[in-house]
Structures are given as C-alpha cells and as structure tokens.
Amino acid sequence: MRSWPEPKSDAQLTEPPRRPQKFQYLKQERAIARHEVREIEQRHTMDGPRQEAALDEEEDMVIIYNRVPKTASTSFTNIAYDLCAKNKYHVLHINTTKNNPVMSLQDQVRFVKNITSWKEMKPGFYHGHVSYLDFAKFGVKKKPIYINVIRDPIERLVSYYYFLRFGDDYRPGLRRRKQGDKKTFDECVAEGGSDCAPEKLWLQIPFFCGHSSECWNVGSRWAMDQAKYNLINEYFLVGVTEELEDFIMLLEAALPRFFRGATELYRTGKKSHLRKTTEKKLPTKQTIAKLQQSDIWKMENEFYEFALEQFQFIRAHAVREKDGDLYILAQNFFYEKIYPKSN
C-alpha cells in the first residue's frame, strides 16, 4: 500500500524555503572574496603611494566638451559652471575668432600644450565650438576626456536659423547677425535661400571628424566614417539633446568628480541653465520632406541615428526604470580568487 507524506503544519507552510546548498556556498565565497579585497586595500593604504597616485589621477583630469552649436550646449555648460565651485574644478571657455571650429596648426600646438601642462587649471572642464582634435598626434601620453551632445539635424538647423534672427532668452538684448529678417524657415526653403540650404546641415559630422580637410568637404563619406570612428573610440560619452537629462545622469554616475549633483540641479534647480530660442516656428511637413531628399541630410541623419543608438545602448546597461523614473545601477562586479593569499 502506497504511503503519503505527512501534511505540513501551518508553521512549516509560513517558513521561507531553504536556500539550496549551492547558493549558501556562493554567498560564503563572495564574503571571503570581499574580505580579501579589504585586506589588500588596507595593506596599500599603509604604504600610501598608490592611494596618492589615484588621487593625483583624479586631480589631473581634463574634460573637453567641443560643443556643436544649437544642441543645448549652453544649457549643459551652465550646469558645469553652477557646480565648479562646489565640486572644486575649473571651467574654461575656448573662444575662437569668429567661432571658427578649425584651429591653425600653431594654435593646435598651443592648445594641446595648455591643456596638458596648465596644472593650475586642473581638474579642468574646457568647452567651445571647436572640432575634435587628436591629442595623440602631438605625442601626448594622457589624452583629455571628450564628451559631446548632438541633435536631430533638421531641428538643429531650424533652431540656428531663428537664433540668428531673434536670439534667445539667455541674452535677449544682444543684436544678432540676421536681426530684422522676418522670413520664416518654411519661406526660406521654398525660395531656396542660403541660410536654410541642405549644405547648412553639414556640421555635426565635421565636428566629430576633426581637423582634416576632408572632414569639411560637404557630403564626404570618408568624413562620416571618421566621425563614427571617433565617436566610438575617442569620446567618453555622446548624448542627444532630446534626452539631455539621461546624459547628465550618466555623467554624474561615471564622473562624479565633476558632475556630482548635476542631475538634481537639472531637475529641481531654478532652470537658469535652460536656454530657448525665441520666435521659433516649427517647419511644415512639406519643408521637412524637401530637406530629407538631400544626400547631406541622409548622411547627417545617419550619423545622428548612429550616435543615438550608441547612447541608448550605454544607457540600457547603466540604468533601470521603475515607476517611470530611471535609476543608476549599483556596482555589478566584484573580485575573487585573489592570489597570493595574505598572511
């Protein structure tokens, strides 16, 4: 006759299930590994030099934000200015003559020398409308950290078009180059005007491509490929204007030496850092469709989509969403099996 197991009591039913022995072992192994790491860290703090070297590395840090015009660059830069005194770093604006993004060869040498040897300005955050410059070409061993933000190409051009005519709420009294011209962006495109020509879209690619002549050859496939290469290999992080808060959040998590408190400032500050172009009118679907027929838009948009995909990939591996809000993930790795064993 088959025997059935005794029914569980109420107390047994309310007890949490016991972890399998395998999980108990893994938990114990992790605890041992953490203990070993702590012992090694304590040994190194006794000798001092390594810890001092790590601190020196942080204090020697330089960030370059080679801002693309009309991508919320002023809004983001003002956050850096708001935080510099509290987080103890310097902010310097790279002001080039007539906002020329290409430096002469001699200015490139001067700039590289300034960035690398101006110890009084370290840690430093440099920003300006300057195309990417490869510091390795000048024999520099420790290169600066490059960051940037880009924007939907047509939206960027529309914003720039109206900015030249009406300015913005950041410096409302400043007279702009095209002030007095009341022509809308739609009218400009319909008439084939120069300020709204497809060639004016060619800006984000050369900014990332750099100082080579081919970078500024409008419609160059080589320039776009080089810009993509630099974005992946030479830039620490590239965000998009449409998701600026997430860009700031990632920077705070990864580079707290500079950006500690940036997310909170962006969310709850007085919004003094926000800058908006005045009198901007959105283009019609017909205007957008006409611009999208050009090969230049197709290339700039391909680069934008490439940058957006990369940014979203980084964000997906760094944050989690809960109740509509994003949260930075805690450290998700640890060290174990550390040899030789300490005595």
Catalytic residues: 127, 129
Judged on CB neighbours under 10 Å (0-12, 13-18, 19+), 343 is exposed
Helix (H) or strand (E) holding 127: strand 124-128
Beta strands in 232-318 (DSSP E): 235-240
* Contacts of 157 by beta carbon, 8 Å cutoff, 6+ apart: 70, 196, 200, 201, 291
What tokens were used for 28? 């114990």
Q: What is the residue type of 77?
A: T
**Cα(205)–Cα(202) distance, rounded to whole angstroms?**
7
Contact between 130 and 54 (Cβ < 8 Å): no
CA dist 89 → 58, 104, 122, 133, 251 (Å): 11, 28, 7, 22, 15
Structure tokens at 229: 């290469």
Residues 99, 162: contact at Cβ < 8 Å?
Answer: no
